[in-house]
Structure formats: structure tokens, C-alpha cells
Amino acid sequence: MSDTARTVAGKAFTVADTQPGRRVSPRGSAFDYAFQALCFAAATALLASLGGVLVSLAIGGWPVLSKFGFGFLTGKTWDPVRDIYGAAGPIVDTIITSAIALLLSLPVAGGVAFFLTELCPSFLKRPIGTAVELLAGIPSIVYGMWGLFVFAPFFAAKVETPLMSAAPPGSMWETLFSGIPNGSGILSASIILAIMILPFMAATLRELLNTVPAQVRESAYGLGATTAEVVLKVTLPYVRRGAIGAVMLGLGRALGETMAVTFIIGNSHDFPKGLFDSGATIASTIANEFNEASGLQASALIALGLVLFVLTFFVLALARLLLRNPEA
């Protein structure tokens, strides 16, 4: 780009110049190289910050990783007093809460997106669409607070206690619903996460569905397809790749979410036994313990961060690859 630009500029000047054939660069063009270098440096700074995250986590986590090796990932004990660190609890909790959140959130987000693109009367489209997009920007700590003060007491009284007393003793349900019915725990955290990623996924899915050409949709209707058939057999398959990407993006958010989860998961490092049991995700463990940690514990928390980085990097990279060309 810049090379052609300079040549063109040079020629323009030769015409005006008294000495034909001599190329004169416009005044100030010496800075061109500096400007390009500056822009390049800024772009490289981006790469450096992502690389820096990885390298700093690897260095900081090395003492624990070298001491426990693979056992760090599989160990179930997290005991700062005896300096034994196994991250299986937080890792499993992170994956479970994110998976449940995605399962709960996906059908609702899909429903909202379908409603907005196919069913919504046009005078409601803008307000509801805008509301969904604005809600996607609400800081996650607000969701966390709501979870702690409003949702948890309600959930404990109206859902957990009845379910626990209704579960037949000795059955699978009793195991699943075991824990302390205080409103915080793995299932509550998953629900809050689901509510938090809902507007985000709905907004992304809606944007994707809006990229389907009108002719495609109209020809499907023209063939006599019902709304359900148009959405499920025509428009959704049309943006299939992108839709999977959007879901992965939501998953990436859920995996790395800190504040919404820390408030309500109960913060216990024991391996989870049931859905109402307290847990601790990777992010919530770091948020809770890092400031009081030193030595091997700090290193263990940074190593946990490295695990989270690798986990989310793959999910997000996949999401972006799929979203890049949503129709392929």
C-alpha cells in the first residue's frame, strides 16, 4: 500500500519539478517509515501481551508443575497447609459449571434469537434487540451480586430444600442433589453463569441469523415451509459454522468468568459430590486465594491460571476460526 502510494506521490511531484525525471519525495515522507514502524510495533505489542500472559504463567507456575508433574492435574487434594496441590477439583468444577450453563443457556438464547429474527413484530424488534445487546454489556459482578443476595436465598428455600427432601433415600437423585441447601453451590453457579452468557449468545446468534440473505428465507417460505422449518432447516444450517462458533465463544466466557461465579459457588476445593455441593472453579480459586498466597501456593494458583489459559485458548481459537467464515 505505502510503496505504491509513495511512487504515485513521487510522480506527481516530478511533473511540477523543473528537472524532469528526478523523483522528489513529498516533504515529511521521511516519517513514513517511522510511522509504519510505530504501527508495526503496536501490532506486535498485542502479540507480545498474549505471549507474555502465556510465558509469565508458565514461569510462575513452574515450581508447582515441576514438583507435582502430571499429578497436579489429577490430584484431588488442595491443601495449602501441607503444601499439597492437586487441581482436579477446580478443573472439573470449571468444566461442569460451564457445561451446565451452556446447556441451560443455549436453548433460551436460540429461542430469543429466532424470536427476534422471525417472529417478533417489527415495532418490538429494535427495543428488544437493543435491550439484549445492552444486557450483554452489564458487568459480571452485578450478576454475581444478584446471585448472592437475591437468587441464592430463593433457590435454597424453593428449589434445593424441596428437591432434597423429595429425593428417595439411596437413589441416584439423592446423590445428585446432595450438599448443603444454602443456595450456593455448583448448580447455582451454573444458573447464574447461564443467565450471564444468555444475552451475549443471543445477540451473537441474532447477528448471524441476520446475515442470511432475504432470498434464502423468502424462497423457503415461498415453498410453503412453516416458521419452524425455515429456521431449523434453512437459516440455521446456513450459518451452522458461525452458530457453533458463537456457542464456543459463550463457552469461552463461561470458562473464564470470575466474578459471577466466585460469589455463589461456595468456594470449597473438595472434589464435588453433588449438584448442590460447594465447589470452586479455577478462576474463583485464583480470585479468592491469590492475595493471601505466597510461595508454593502462589505458584499453584498461577499454574491453575495456565491450565485455564490453555483451556480457553483452544475453545476461543476454535470459536474464532468457525466465526471467521460462518457460511463455509
Partner 1 sequence: MATRASPVVIARRQIGNAVFVGFCVLVTAVALIALALILWSLVRQGASGLNLNIFTLDTPAAGSVGGLRNAIVGSIMMCALAMVIAVAVGVLAGTWLSEYAGTSRYGSVIRFLNDVLLSAPSILIGLFVYQLLVRPFHGFSGFAGGVALAIIAVPVITRTTEDVLKLQPISLREAGVALGSPFWHVVRTILWRAGASGMITGALLAFARISGETAPLLFTALNNQFFSWNMTKPTASLPVVIFNDALTPYPDLNKLAWAAALLTAGAVLAVTILARIFSKEPRRS
Binding residues for partner 1 restricted to 72-131, rule: CB under 8 A? 107-109, 111-112, 114-116, 118-119, 128, 130-131
* Closest CB to partner 1 among residues 62, 173: 62
Per-residue contact string for residues 144-183; x = within reach of partner 1 by CB under 8 A: xxx-xxx---------------------------------
**Smallest separation (angstroms) from partner 1 to the CB of 193:** 13
What's the distance, CA 37 to chain centroid? 33
Interacting residues with partner 1 between 34 and 73 (CB under 8 A) = 34-36, 38-47, 49-50, 52-53, 56-57, 59-60
* Closest CB to partner 1 among residues 13, 173: 13
Which residues lie across from 79 on neighbouring strands? 84
**Smallest separation (angstroms) from partner 1 to the CB of 236:** 12
Work out which of 259, 265, 275, 280 binds partner 1, going by CB under 8 A. Answer: 259
Rg, the chain, Cα only: 27
Judged by CB under 8 A, which stretch of 21-29, 69-77, 174-182, 213-221 contacts partner 1? 21-29
* Closest CB to partner 1 among residues 180, 232: 232
Longest dimension (CA), the chain: 100
With 0-12 / 13-18 / 19 or more C-beta atoms within 10 angstroms meaning exposed / middle / buried, residue 134 is exposed
- Across 140-179, b (16+ Cβ under 10 Å) vs e yields beebbbbbbeebbeebbeebbeebbeebeeeeeeeeebbb
Of 109, 89, 56, which is closest to residue 253 (Cα–Cα)? 109
Q: Give the CA dihedral 260, 263, 264, 266, nearest 10 degrees.
A: 130
* Closest CB to partner 1 among residues 166, 228: 228
* Closest CB to partner 1 among residues 44, 74: 44
Q: Any contact of residue 223 with partner 1 (CB under 8 A)?
A: no
Work out which of 179, 181, 256, 266 binds partner 1, going by CB under 8 A. Answer: 256
**Smallest separation (angstroms) from partner 1 to the CB of 234:** 13
**Smallest separation (angstroms) from partner 1 to the CB of 126:** 11
> Amino acid letter at 325?
N
Question: Number of residues in contact with partner 1, rule: CB under 8 A?
Answer: 103
Rounded Cα distance, 232 and 326, in Å: 16
Work out which of 69, 158, 228, 237 binds partner 1, going by CB under 8 A. Answer: 228
Interacting residues with partner 1 between 274 and 303 (CB under 8 A) = 283, 286-287, 290-291, 301-302
Q: Are the CB atoms for 279 and 305 separated by under 8 Å?
A: no
User: What DSSP string describes 280-293?
Assistant: --HHHHHHHHGGG-
Helix then strand then coil, in percent of the chain rounded to 5, is 75, 0, 25
Interacting residues with partner 1 between 182 and 211 (CB under 8 A) = 195, 198-199, 202-204, 207
**Smallest separation (angstroms) from partner 1 to the CB of 60:** 6
Query: To 10 degrees, what angle do helices 186-210 and 240-256 make?
Result: 150
What's the distance, CA 126 to chain centroid? 26
Interacting residues with partner 1 between 307 and 326 (CB under 8 A) = 308-309, 312-313, 316-317, 320
